[in-house]
Amino acid sequence: MFERLIAYLDSVADRDPSPRSRWEVLLYPGVLALGMHRIAHWLYGGGLFFLARVVNHFARFLTAIDIHPGARIGRNFFIDHGFSVIGETAEIGDNVTIYQCVTLGGTNPTNGIPGKRHPTLLDGVIVGSGAQIIGPVTIGQRARIGAAAVVIEDVPEGATMIGQKARSTLVAAETYQRQFMPYGTPCKDPCEPVVPRVDELEEQIAALKAEIDRLRAAEGQGPLPMPRRNSEAPQREHVPELGRGDRQDEVGNG
């Protein structure tokens, strides 16, 4: 057990060059939170849910990190700086690193146990500060989630995800008047209002072209030629830009 602790402290030092000794790593909020979570998870697995919650609340008071006692966490997990939330059905693999203010949040609270509501992070995942990973999605091995990214879909192995897309959805407001929506995110609802609109416009264009072709055929003309795409347009001849020396020569010759 002592050797495992030393190996864990060294793995933290490998990801954070600031500590001068292992004793210093022991005082990290993320290390303290993980140690207390191991105790809370053991109590939770034994059916001692109230005691598990007591340990969880004490750990949150000390570290500002909220890890639900039911969350499953692998080896060498490191939360840098804290202020993160990890939900009940979250699963975290080995050698995962999470920076501050990250949320592994859940959806569909009515599913309950054993409903899977929270993310799964496979081995070697790194999650940047402020990222929000919502719902029962899977983050592939060695994937990278950038700072402040919002992830509501599966991420393939080795991918790097950055940015967020906050936009109006096609979900009617009255749909959720009486139903709680965790984190305000309708993960399974259409969140790309531009896509159906573009599809509708393409259908209208195709119908108009078909009608024009029919009228042209009635007059003995061929189909309406389609405009060339940018890639098919003729390229303008490139005129090299005169350098400074060339301009001076022109001025002198003038």
Q: What CATH number does the domain located at 2-165+174-184 have? A: 2.160.10.10
Tell me the average pLDDT of the chain: 82
**Locus of tokens 């499953």:** 72
CA–CA dist 89, 104 (Å, integer): 10
Q: What number of other Cβ atoms are within 10 A of residue 20's Cβ?
A: 9
Give 76's DSSP letter.
T
Does residue 144 have a pLDDT over 70?
A: yes
**Locus of tokens 């072209």:** 209
Give the whole-number percent of the chain exceeding pLDDT 70: 74
pLDDT in tens, 167-193: 555 555 555 444 555 555 555 544 555
User: Hey, which of 75-89, 96-110, 153-167, 177-191 has the most confident mean pLDDT?
Assistant: 75-89
Count Cβ neighbours within 10 Å for each residue of 132-166 and write b for 16 or more, e otherwise. Answer: bbbbbbebbeebbbbeebbbbeebeeeeebeeeee
Reported residue count of the chain is 254
Q: Mean pLDDT throughout 235-246?
A: 51
Does residue 239 have a pLDDT over 60?
A: no
| pLDDT value for 251 | 45
Q: Mean pLDDT throughout 59-68?
A: 96
Higher model confidence: residue 217 or residue 1? 217
Contact by Cβ (8 Å): 20, 11: no
pLDDT in tens, 150-165: 998 899 999 999 887 6
